[in-house]
Amino acid sequence: MAKRLLVAITLWALGGPAGLHHLYLGRDNHALLWMLTLGGFGMGWLWELWLLPGWVAQANRTLELPRDGPPPFSPVRFLGQASVGIYFGLVALMGLSALPGFYFLALPLAVGLGVHLVSAVGDQSSDLQATLKAAFITAPIFYGRSLAIFPITLTTSVTAQRHRCYKSSKRTREKLGARLYRLGLAYLAFTTPLAYSVFYNTVATASYVAGTIRSTLDWLSVFPSLSSALESVLLLPYHAWKMLGFSGGSFQEWEQVFAFVHSVQNERQRMALKVLGIHDDATPEEIHKSYRELVKLWHPDHNRHRAEEAERRFIEVQAAYELLTQMRKPKPT
């Protein structure tokens, strides 16, 4: 039966984050991706309105895409693979990390499946075996580290891009019931361990989240602007929680996670003030003056007799100044 653009637009408007329009158009992988990420983390589905006419034409086989050779490289798809790979890895870390051999089996499997799911969206696909192989080879190198998610994701995303290909144009149409059954199983497989961990193992889950946040912020400490921006984003749910007045039960453990992020932010500010040798209520002019003096003092060109110490101090001064500048920047009204 021919697909209608008006129906697709209606489903996009009513159930876009749940992928109803993708389900209607037979794009089951895209529908599952949207179900698991709530429409691309709440934002991806918004710009799809402009793509719906082309997708409807593809579903009706009135628009055939060139299939000679591999598909062109897509930065958007690559970033999507990396984002979903990290997302699947974090979910596995929260819900499955108690399993024996988690870092050898469950973590690379979760990241690899997340990357492949994005690879298989639309008319493209990739080599699942090669993608999973890359994940399992990378995982032991970073065994036991929360940050293992990032190198595993990068390796699998690059591998998936290298093996990208078009799906066969000769695909049989399955009955809606069979498609819904398969999507339901995939959705339950993803959400059940996470739901159990969040509601019945809240303390351990909060601990894993806090550990991951700690490792990520430490890793990003060499990029003060990015680290500060990430801390601000992570603190948004904390402030919302406080405004809504949630307390008690499992909320207390999650509040501790956000309070931890807040304490990290305060500790970084304290260290930055110490590096620049200024007090807490220093004005922007005082911060800038101290920065200029210390940069001149510790510039490597002026300290060739102690080059290593000068370079370290010079970097510390620059990082402290950038951090304080970002944290004390006026908030937009």
Q: Which CATH class is domain 223-240+258-328?
A: mainly alpha
Confidence at residue 219, expressed as pLDDT on a 0 to 100 scale = 56
E strand segments, the chain = 124-125, 165-166
Give me the residue label for tokens 């637009």: 9
Q: Evaluate the CA torsion angle 313, 315, 317, 320 in order and state its sign.
A: negative
**CA 9 to CA 50: how far, in whole Å?**
10
333 residues of the chain, pLDDT tens digit each: 688 889 989 998 888 888 899 998 888 899 999 988 888 876 777 788 888 888 888 888 765 666 667 888 889 899 999 989 988 988 887 777 777 788 888 889 999 999 999 999 988 889 999 999 999 999 888 887 767 888 999 999 999 999 998 887 666 677 888 888 888 888 888 888 777 666 665 555 555 555 555 555 555 555 555 555 555 555 554 555 455 454 444 444 445 545 555 555 666 677 888 888 888 888 888 888 888 889 888 888 888 888 888 888 888 888 788 778 766 665 444
Enter the DSSP assignment of 140: G
pLDDT on residue 250: 44
Distance of alpha carbon 70 from alpha carbon 60, whole angstroms = 23
Question: Distance between CA 320 and CA 222 in Å, rounded?
Answer: 10
Please tell me the predicted confidence (pLDDT) of residue 131.
Answer: 93
Query: How far is Cα 78 from Cα 98, in angstroms, rounded to an integer?
Result: 30
Report yes or no: 241 and 255 within 8 Å, Cβ to Cβ.
yes
Give 72-81's long-range contacts (Cβ < 8 A, gap of 24+): 73/161, 73/164, 77/118, 77/119, 77/121, 77/124, 77/161, 78/157, 78/161, 80/40, 80/44, 80/118, 80/121, 81/114, 81/115, 81/118, 81/119, 81/153, 81/156, 81/157, 81/160, 81/161
- Supply the pLDDT for residue 210: 57
What is the pLDDT at residue 315? Answer: 82
Question: What confidence tens digit (pLDDT) does each residue in 273-309 have?
Answer: 888 888 888 888 888 888 888 988 888 888 888 888 8
- Domain limits, the chain: 1-60, 74-220, 223-240+258-328
- The dihedral region occupied by 143, where left means phi > 0, alpha psi between -120 and 50, and beta the remainder, is beta
111 vs 164: CA distance, rounded Å: 17
